[in-house]
Amino acid sequence: MVKLSVIVPFYNVQQYAPDTLRSLRANARDDFEFILVDDCSTDGTADILARAERELPGARLLSHERNQGLASARNTGIDAARGEFLTFLDGDDWLAADYYRQLLAAIEELGCDFVRTDHVQCTGRARAVHRVPHGRRGVVLNPRDAILPSDRTTSVDYAYAWAGVYHRRLVDDGLLHFTPGLRTAEDRPWIWRLHREADSFAVTGLLGVFYRRGVASSLTQIGDVRQLDFIKAFDQVIDETSRDSDADQLLPKAVRTYCAVMAHHLGSIERFEPHVARQLRALCASSLRRLPQAALMDTLDSMDQQRAARLRRLRRRPVPSGAVSA
């Protein structure tokens, strides 16, 4: 029986894929499988993965005939996974040796639906530890209790899918798949759904994932229309949370996070192509009008003056007909 399925999407990362694959080899075990998903790469990534399928113990290669994005690539891996537990890695990141054995031991000992972990962020040669924003470690908790308070960074703001491990029952309950078609911010509706609907989780200080920042091909570095999918992602968070039995308590947190992300993108709008920048403003203006207005007003009143003023001006801005299609 497969104990752990590791789902690793790749897209045009030939420069980094060898490091990723070497780190997987250093984590291989007879009851582990590595599901390598090539999302229709156009560089040398596909050849590297074809060789890895032959040489990496437990590797299986799945290939998309057209590029579908990270969310769909992860879903392809989830659908193919046979493990009792599942985890993720991105094709340009890497692992410490023996990390997955320790991660698996943690969730088996705790017996919960999912476990979240810290990680190491790598920007060039710089290294920085980023921790799950939750103080209690090594104890089983109710995921809903980790969503609030609204005015602080909480576990739903730490949305990295690869920073954790997940029991198969989350797949069976329809909680682990990602929203197809989201090209960025795909982790946001996903992490909110886990925390609203799963029964149990825990946090561990285990370090072993090395997250590579500043990759030129990463969507976080590209100012094109794909970046605007954060609007769709947070609209989904708002819609689903508004139908929750505790919507009155949870929506202020969702609205606050949405506004913070909007303000972040608007504050660096010069990195977007001009037509994308215009579309970003129009989409944000429309979204601000759709949000629960009481929660929005409370959020704006509590934000710093610069960000709040930027969003207030945008909320008052007329939205031209047809300008809000992403």
Tokens (6 digits) for 226: 């794909």
Tokens (6 digits) for 59: 């590797």
pLDDT at 117: 98
Residue 106 confidence (pLDDT) above 90: yes
Residue 220 confidence (pLDDT) above 80: no
Q: How confident is the model at residue 33 (pLDDT cuts 50, 70, 90)?
A: very high
Chain mean pLDDT for the chain: 94
User: Average pLDDT of 77-87?
Assistant: 98
Residue 170 confidence (pLDDT) above 70: yes
Q: How confident is the model at residue 224 (pLDDT cuts 50, 70, 90)?
A: confident
pLDDT at 207: 96
28-37, 38-47, 179-188, 207-216: least confident range: 207-216
CA distance 86 to 175: 13
| CATH topology (fold) of 4-218 | Spore Coat Polysaccharide Biosynthesis Protein SpsA; Chain A (3.90.550)
Query: Using one digit for the tens of pLDDT, what is the confidence trace for 58-81?
Result: 999 999 999 999 999 999 999 999
User: Average pLDDT of 192-200?
Assistant: 98
pLDDT at 223: 61
Which sign, positive or negative, has the C-alpha torsion 71, 75, 77, 78? positive
The Cα angle at residue 154 between residues 151 and 155, in degrees rounded to 5: 160
Q: Which residues contact 146 (CB under 8 A, 6 or more apart)?
A: 134, 154, 155, 156, 195, 201
User: Average pLDDT of 230-235?
Assistant: 97
Predicted TM-score of the model (pTM): 0.93
User: Average pLDDT of 172-185?
Assistant: 96
pLDDT at 221: 46
- In the chain, where do the E strands start and end? 4-10, 32-38, 59-63, 85-88, 94-95, 114-117, 119-123, 126-130, 164-167, 201-204, 209-213
Q: How confident is the model at residue 214 (pLDDT cuts 50, 70, 90)?
A: confident
Q: What percent of the chain has pLDDT over 90?
A: 91
Q: Which residues contact 151 (CB under 8 A, 6 or more apart)?
A: 256, 302
